[in-house]
Amino acid sequence: MTTAGDAHASAPTAAVPMISMAGVQKYFGDLHVLRDITLDVPTGQVVIVVGPSGSGKSTLCRTINRLEPVDAGTIAVDGRELPAEGKALAALRADVGMVFQSFNLFAHKTILENVMLAPVKVRKLSRADAKARAVELLDRVGIGNQADKYPAQLSGGQQQRVAIARALAMNPKVMLFDEPTSALDPEMVSEVLDVMTALAREGMTMLVVTHEMGFARKAGNRVLFMADGQIVEDTDPDTFFTAPKSARAQDFLGKIL
C-alpha cells in the first residue's frame, strides 16, 4: 500500500493509477454481478481478491481487459480508457495479461510456439525476436528445457508456468490471475506461486484472485474482499486475515481456513 513516505520518495507528479475503475456496473440479464465498483490500483501494487463463489471475482477480472463489456462506468489501464472494440481495443487488451484456472494452452502447438504466437501476431515481432524472448521467459519460469514438448506432456504446474510466460511475452503492464492454482494438484501449487511471487517482487502490477493465504501475505500489498458484486473490505493482507471487520468476511474466513 502506498504510504505518505512512498509518495514523497517517488516522482513529484501525481501518479496515474495503473488500473482505474469508476462506477462500474455489470449485469448478466437480471443478475447484478458488479455493483458500482470503484477501484484504483497504483503501479506495482499486488492486489489479492477473495470472496465466496459467485461474488463477481472472475467477472471483475474479465471486465478489466474487456473480455466482458460493462453496462455502466469506466475502466482505464495506465490512464487510457478501454475502447469498446476494434484495433485500439486489441492493442490495449494486450497490455493486460491474464492467467486462468484452466491453462488454455494450444494443445497442437509446442510450448515454445505457445509463447511465441501472440507476440508475432499482435505485437508484430519477428519470429527470431519472439523466439529469443520466449526462450528467455521459459527459462525464467523454469521450463527452458521443455520448449519443444507439447502441453499434454507437461504437468499441470508446468503448464500453468507456461501460461504465465505466454502472458508475459506480450510485455503487459498488468497481470490478472484468476484462481491460477485451483486446478493444480497440491504439490504443484508452490512452483506456480513462486513464479508469481518473483513477478510481484520485480514490480509487476497484479490482481490475483486466490485463496492462498500464504501467498497473499507474502506477495500481496492489499486484499479486496468481494461479496454480492461489491468490494466489502479493502485492507492489507495481515489485517484481513487476522482481523476481518465485516461479519461476511469473518464467516468466509471461517470456511476457508
Q: Nearest 5°: CA angle at 177, between 142 and 169?
A: 50
Least distance in Å: CB of 224 to ligand ADP?
11
195 in helix, strand or coil? helix
Least distance in Å: CB of 31 to ligand ADP?
6
In the complex with ligand ADP, which residue's Cβ is closer, 241 or 252? 252
114 in helix, strand or coil? helix
CA atoms within 13 A on the CB side of 84: 4
- DSSP percent split of the chain into helix, strand, coil, nearest 5: 40, 25, 35
In the complex with Mg ion, which residue's Cβ is closer, 57 or 93? 57
Pair 131, 112: CB distance under 8 Å = yes
| DSSP per residue, 29-71 | TTEEEEEEEEEEE-TT-EEEEE--TTSSHHHHHHHHTTSS--S
Residue 28 interacting partner from ligand ADP, Mg ion, none (CB closer than 5 to 8 Å by kind): ligand ADP
In the complex with Mg ion, which residue's Cβ is closer, 112 or 208? 208
Q: Which stretch binds Mg ion (CB under 5 A): 34-42, 56-64, 127-135, 213-221?
A: 56-64
Least distance in Å: CB of 113 to ligand ADP?
30
Indicate the pairing of strand 80-81 with strand 230-235.
unpaired
Between CA 124 and CA 105 the distance in angstroms is 20
Residue 54 interacting partner from ligand ADP, Mg ion, none (CB closer than 5 to 8 Å by kind): ligand ADP
In the complex with Mg ion, which residue's Cβ is closer, 58 or 159? 58
Residue 58 lies near Mg ion (rule: CB under 5 A): yes
Q: Which stretch binds Mg ion (CB under 5 A): 54-62, 72-80, 182-190, 221-229?
A: 54-62
In the complex, the residues that contact ligand ADP under the rule CB under 6 A are: 28, 31, 33, 51, 53-59
* Footprint on this chain of Mg ion (rule: CB under 5 A): 57-58
